[in-house]
Structure 1
Amino acid sequence: MRILYLHQHFSTPGGATATRSFAMARALAARGHAVTVACGGYEGAETGLAGPFQAGRREGAVDAFRVVEFAIPCGNRQRLGARGAAFLRYAARAAGLALRGRFDLVIASSTPLSVALPALLTRHVRALPFVFEIRDPWPELPRAMGIGNPGLWWAMDRLADAACRQASAVIALSEGMAETARTRGARQVAVLPNGCDLGLFGPHVPPWRPEGIPPDAILAVYAGAHGPANGLGQLIEAAAHLRDPRILVLLVGDGAEKPRLRAAAATLPNIRWLDPLPKLRLARLLAGSQIALQCLAPVPAFAEWTSPNKLMDYLAAGLPVIANCGGRAARLLEDGPCGLTTPPGDAAALAAAIGALAADPVRRAALGRAGRAQAERLWDRRLLASRFCDIIEAAA
């Protein structure tokens, strides 16, 4: 089968962002399918391609599949208007590729929601079936955060309705996302969460610490985007509450909020910063850390409508996790247990949880082992990729 996989933010493990689409494309190729991944230039991503762009695109073989990369930069530091323009430019280029190429099925992976446009167009023009993958429910999350306006939300509602109703199957990363798809009229919905790369992350990885981190420091690491949705001001406030000088809070990543956050933490001696790290280096950093931090803004919708990739990396690494959100993430940590949860928006409680784990190495080790065991039992990405392939083949 010839499959066109549309994911604007595609990255190989050489990048510093999520690699779900890389793993799924590789699994489809291993089943004998001819896979073409179409992407843009996402900040922190590495597509595996090199060399100049010709007419705004370049392409080549990556692993066992083909990648077409459009010269459309996009990232969390862009203003909303610039990101929206990048989304629409990608949708237009992807539509041209889909209409001109010889494909049997399209996978449209959002966000952004605009990836549904080329999938819907090719369905109507060429009768190609498509699978719609929901990584973040739009416009539910932007509306919950107050990002955008009623007119934009109305337009996204109509697009999400069409994508869910006309898709041969919908893949959602959480049951909460799946429920939004069913509400919009999806016929076939499967829940397939983010998974763990057990070979890349784990206790077998040689540890690494950045220069200047004392060897006896207790390192609490957050690795991910620094945007409004992440609510990292709570980590700054929590660091201000910590009294143990051995504890260092390390924030790894980039985003629109990072300059403001660094300014707010300028006087705190227990905060450290790193730019985004390639997954291979991040795996070594997690192996050299003691605590992992999962942080989101205190938005109630995040409880069931998010499936953070970083949480899977933490569990695979065998680190105890502290999360400041309820819902699905809290249930994962309670199963084991493999971490602690604190109320959203409560920086003092977050600091207390960090302090409690810092003071108890035996408990840290036990929670970390339970997290790794849960990752092996439930979230092995190879098993989830096999299920993904089954869904795609059935949809065709």
Structure 2
Amino acid sequence: MNILFLHQYFKTPEQEGARRSYYLASALAKADCRVKVITSRQQKEAVFPETLPPGLQLRSYYIPYSNHFSWTKRLWAFVRYASIALRHALGSRYDWLYATSTPLTVGFVAYVAHRLRGKPYVFESRDLWPEIPFALGFLKRLPFVQRILYWLTKQVYKHARLVVAVSPSMKAHIKKHYGIKHVVCVPNMADDAFFEIPLPAQEAHPLRMLYAGSLGDANDCLQLLRLIHELPPSLRQQIRFSIMGEGKQKNAMQDYIARQGLRDVVEWLPTGNAQAVQQALQAHDIFWVSFAPIPWIDTGSPNKFFEGLAAGRICFSTLNGWTAHLLQRYCCGFIIHNAAALQKAIEAMQDVQQRVRMQKNARQLAQRFFHREKLTHKWLLALTAKGLLQRPAE
């Protein structure tokens, strides 16, 4: 069976970024499918690995993109990729198509190919588009265009053979607001084997906190620096905060650190691939998940959340929603919205026994609900149930 796999930001394990699509495409290849991935790269000199799983083919196109870009420039990058993807969707030989957002434009490509060629497709929604861009003010002066985009989004969901949502709340929203029933929830995955690193040593040392991820406006990591600055000076000296990432807010964050005298508390780590993230987690007790208080943002499934849990690290998160519920129910993290909450969490971490319990809880949560092999198997079974795989998934 031939499958066309569309993802603008497809990453292999050797690259920086989320590897979900690589694992899913590899699972299809392992199920005796021939998978052709159409993706982009942000740097001219970017090189993909020469060795890929048998049955997996990669086509990469140079399309610059950064969260430093304006909305107009980002939209142009989306349109450029969509035009390339559409060319493949209309001209390639395949049995069905898998389109994963962001951006939503890749869903439009799948829908057009379905209407013109009758090819079935699966649409995977990783963020609620267009809800989140609209919440950020995109096209706010053009309500008619917004209505058109909502209508097109409904068509993408409606005509898909299957819709894959990456969180329970996203699944519920799609079913309720778009009237779609053929939705399955397959959250992002915890690579338990890769991140099975030793739990942190419990001898006395400053509490070591790590943020590893994008530094864009949607993440608003400046808020983390403000929270740290608002701590009592005596408590601030009991922590160390490492930042590993690139993005639009980086310069502003560096200025804030210098201006507020936080250089003895905050350090920058070089960005890197999954191996570098694993090594960074090994040297820290806490990992941060940071997002701005944007409507719908807490329906997402942040990759760093699952990596940190798999590593047995305690989570400090600014998100509400389903991930906050997990942290509270399984006692493996804290929801931080102000300096008082951060102070309370840091003080709680002085109890070594509680810290050890929470670290073990984090790893058990990842293994129980988000194990990569289990979720990949669930995904394959959902595809099989829709007649998209020729034999039952093993």
Instruction: Pick from 233, 236, 257 the counterpart of residue 249 of structure 2.
Output: 257
User: Is the Cα contact below 8 Å between 2:132 and 2:294 reproduced in 1?
Assistant: no
Residue 62 of structure 1 corresponds to which residue in structure 2?
52
- 1:335 corresponds to 2:333: no
Alpha-carbon shift at residue 380 of structure 1 (Å): 0.3
Residue 125 of structure 1 corresponds to which residue in structure 2?
116
Which stretch of structure 1 is more off in the superposition, 376-385 or 294-303? 294-303
Which stretch of structure 1 is more off in the superposition, 194-203 or 307-316? 194-203
Residue 2 of structure 1 corresponds to which residue in structure 2?
2
Residue 187 of structure 2 corresponds to which residue in structure 1?
193
- 1:354 corresponds to 2:346: yes
- 1:89 corresponds to 2:80: yes
**Partner SS state of residue 62, structure 1:** coil
For 1:340 and 1:47, locate their aligned partners in 2 and report how far apart those are by CA, in whole Å. Answer: 39
- 1:159 corresponds to 2:162: no
For 1:47 and 1:143, locate their aligned partners in 2 and report how far apart those are by CA, in whole Å. Answer: 35
Alpha-carbon shift at residue 167 of structure 1 (Å): 0.6
Residue 308 of structure 2 corresponds to which residue in structure 1?
314
Alpha-carbon shift at residue 300 of structure 1 (Å): 4.5
Which stretch of structure 1 is more off in the superposition, 129-138 or 11-20? 11-20
For 1:288 and 1:271, locate their aligned partners in 2 and report how far apart those are by CA, in whole Å. Answer: 15
**Partner SS state of residue 63, structure 2:** strand
Alpha-carbon shift at residue 298 of structure 1 (Å): 2.0
Alpha-carbon shift at residue 126 of structure 1 (Å): 1.1
User: Is the Cα contact below 8 Å between 1:11 and 1:47 reproduced in 2?
Assistant: no
- 1:298 corresponds to 2:293: yes
The one-letter code matched in structure 1 to 2:52 is V
Alpha-carbon shift at residue 169 of structure 1 (Å): 0.8
Alpha-carbon shift at residue 42 of structure 1 (Å): 4.4
- 1:222 corresponds to 2:211: yes
Which stretch of structure 1 is more off in the superposition, 239-248 or 320-329? 239-248
Deviations 1:176-204, CA, capped at 9 Å, x for gaps:
21133222232410011111011221225
User: Is the Cα contact below 8 Å between 2:132 and 2:295 reproduced in 1?
Assistant: no
Instruction: Pick from 282, 286, 299 the counterpart of residue 287 of structure 1.
Output: 282
- 1:238 corresponds to 2:237: no
Structure 1 stretches (4+) deviating beyond 4 angstroms? none
**Partner SS state of residue 90, structure 1:** helix
**Partner SS state of residue 383, structure 1:** helix
> 1:336 and 1:94, CA in 2 relative to 1: closer, same or farther beyond 3 A?
same
User: Is the Cα contact below 8 Å between 1:201 and 1:313 reproduced in 2?
Assistant: yes
For 1:89 and 1:166, locate their aligned partners in 2 and report how far apart those are by CA, in whole Å. Answer: 24
Instruction: Pick from 105, 124, 133 the counterpart of residue 114 of structure 1.
Output: 105
Residue 53 of structure 1 corresponds to which residue in structure 2?
none
User: Is the Cα contact below 8 Å between 1:172 and 1:190 reproduced in 2?
Assistant: yes
Deviations 1:70-97, CA, capped at 9 Å, x for gaps:
1112222222211110101000001111
User: Is the Cα contact below 8 Å between 2:289 and 2:305 reproduced in 1?
Assistant: yes
User: Is the Cα contact below 8 Å between 2:162 and 2:183 reproduced in 1?
Assistant: yes
For 2:378 and 2:141, locate their aligned partners in 1 and report how far apart those are by CA, in whole Å. Answer: 37
> 1:150 and 1:135, CA in 2 relative to 1: closer, same or farther beyond 3 A?
farther
Residue 248 of structure 1 corresponds to which residue in structure 2?
240
**Partner SS state of residue 265, structure 1:** helix
**Partner SS state of residue 26, structure 1:** helix
The one-letter code matched in structure 1 to 2:196 is G
Alpha-carbon shift at residue 393 of structure 1 (Å): 3.1
For 1:351 and 1:261, locate their aligned partners in 2 and report how far apart those are by CA, in whole Å. Answer: 21
For 2:148 and 2:262, locate their aligned partners in 1 and report how far apart those are by CA, in whole Å. Answer: 44
User: Is the Cα contact below 8 Å between 2:128 and 2:296 reproduced in 1?
Assistant: no
Alpha-carbon shift at residue 150 of structure 1 (Å): 4.5
Residue 23 of structure 1 corresponds to which residue in structure 2?
23
> 1:22 and 1:112, CA in 2 relative to 1: closer, same or farther beyond 3 A?
same
User: Is the Cα contact below 8 Å between 1:315 and 1:371 reproduced in 2?
Assistant: yes
For 1:300 and 1:292, locate their aligned partners in 2 and report how far apart those are by CA, in whole Å. Answer: 23
Alpha-carbon shift at residue 147 of structure 1 (Å): 3.7
The number of residues matched between the two structures is 374
**Partner SS state of residue 24, structure 2:** helix
User: Is the Cα contact below 8 Å between 1:324 and 1:350 reproduced in 2?
Assistant: no
Alpha-carbon shift at residue 392 of structure 1 (Å): 2.5
Query: Which residues of structure 1 form unaligned runs of 5+?
Result: 50-59, 208-214
> 1:147 and 1:348, CA in 2 relative to 1: closer, same or farther beyond 3 A?
farther
User: Is the Cα contact below 8 Å between 2:29 and 2:53 reproduced in 1?
Assistant: no
Deviations 1:358-382, CA, capped at 9 Å, x for gaps:
x233322211111101111111011
For 1:7 and 1:295, locate their aligned partners in 2 and report how far apart those are by CA, in whole Å. Answer: 24
For 1:251 and 1:191, locate their aligned partners in 2 and report how far apart those are by CA, in whole Å. Answer: 31
The one-letter code matched in structure 2 to 1:277 is G
Query: Which residues of structure 2 form unaligned runs of 5+?
Result: 389-394
Deviations 1:268-288, CA, capped at 9 Å, x for gaps:
131122342211111011011
For 2:229 and 2:73, locate their aligned partners in 1 and report how far apart those are by CA, in whole Å. Answer: 35
> 1:223 and 1:329, CA in 2 relative to 1: closer, same or farther beyond 3 A?
same
Alpha-carbon shift at residue 61 of structure 1 (Å): 5.7
CA RMSD, Structure 1 to Structure 2 (Å): 2.2
Instruction: Pick from 256, 269, 272 the counterpart of residue 274 of structure 1.
Output: 269
For 2:47 and 2:188, locate their aligned partners in 1 and report how far apart those are by CA, in whole Å. Answer: 20
Residue 392 of structure 2 corresponds to which residue in structure 1?
none
Residue 390 of structure 1 corresponds to which residue in structure 2?
381
The one-letter code matched in structure 1 to 2:305 is L
Deviations 1:232-280, CA, capped at 9 Å, x for gaps:
1221112113433241111211111111122112121311223422111
Alpha-carbon shift at residue 216 of structure 1 (Å): 4.2
**Could you tell me the percent identity over the aligned residues?**
31
TM-score scaled by structure 2? 0.89
